[in-house]
Amino acid sequence: MKRAVVFVIFFLILGFALAGLYWSQRRPKSAPVSANAILNMAADAQRDLSRIPMHFTRLSDEQEIAIGKELAARYATQTHKLSPEEEGLERYVTRVGYTVVLHAHRHLPYTFTVLPDHNMINAFSLPGGPVYIGEGMLDLMMSEDELANVLAHEIEHIDHYHCAERVQLEAKLRNLNLDVLGALLQIPLEFWEAGYHKDEEFEADREGMFLAVRSGYSPYGAVDTFERFAKLHDEYAIHAQSPEEELSELAIQSLNGYFRSHPLPSERLAQAKSIIAENHWEDRKTQKPFRVEYEVHNGEYAR
């Protein structure tokens, strides 16, 4: 039955695409249809079709949460104990994260973890709610609004089932039974640190901006982040200009890995500016400073 529904939807999409092409050829030639537009339409249809089976067999929230907890437990064994100062930073990230998730569509047990590595310029999420951000990514931030937009991006990967669909597809490719305890051990943790399909990254950017704005943050937090990444891309990926600030070799490797697995910063920046214009957010430029305040109690930092 499911297979029949998939084929029906496929042929409907194909039919609409062919009908559009047919009528475009019958119209006056004043508005020719480009081959790229047809190819993009076909690609969109193929991508949407590939996700249809996941909608029919999607993990329940309970299954997704259990998978996320199992993966998070593996990450916990691979990171060293946070220093008191890093604990204060993680509390700050968690506070901002909880402000943002209040406005997410799915009510899941979200958690926010700082990975104490200044060379890690990345952030990622796991099915069911865990969100991680490298200390190297935090080092680049100048405002709380930038942090909120990055966290919102990762939350939207969860909120829009990107994480859940990824684990389902990977399990299918590896012939894994996700109901069997320990099956996830065959999926390397680095798998989650890689970016998603270009369309899913753009979707997380777009929906993340809306989520951040609903949470009271400026959309220019996303703009500033993408402008900074565009500059770093010019300096370290294509070497179009000399770096103003030297990064360690490990940080450069992390940065280049991030660029390889995500759309070009210039493309993400263009989309962000377009969203601001479309929604008339030009007056929402005020941003909160990125500031973690610490107090010392018995030799320990406490926010």
Pairwise pLDDT comparison (32 vs 60), residue with the higher score: 60
Write out the E strands in the chain: 111-115, 123-125, 130-134, 295-297, 300-302
Q: Which of 121, 134, 142, 92 is nearest to 301 (CA)?
A: 92
Q: What is the pLDDT of residues 135-177, one digit of tens each?
A: 999 999 999 999 999 999 999 999 999 999 999 998 888 888 8
**3-state DSSP assignment of residue 293:** coil
Q: Which of 66, 226, 236, 256 is nearest to 153 (CA)?
A: 226
Q: Which of 122, 128, 123 is nearest to 110 (CA)?
A: 128
Pairwise pLDDT comparison (279 vs 41), residue with the higher score: 279
**3-state DSSP assignment of residue 261:** coil
Residue 245 has pLDDT above 90, yes or no: no
Q: What is the pLDDT of residues 180-203, one digit of tens each?
A: 767 887 888 788 888 899 999 999
Q: What is the pLDDT of residues 92-125, one digit of tens each?
A: 999 999 999 999 999 999 999 999 999 999 999 9
pLDDT of amino acid 15: 56
Residue 268 makes CB contacts below 8 A (sequence gap 6+) with 201, 202, 205, 226, 229, 262
Q: What is the mean pLDDT of the chain?
A: 83
pTM comes to 0.79
Contact present, 112 and 131 (Cβ < 8 Å):
yes
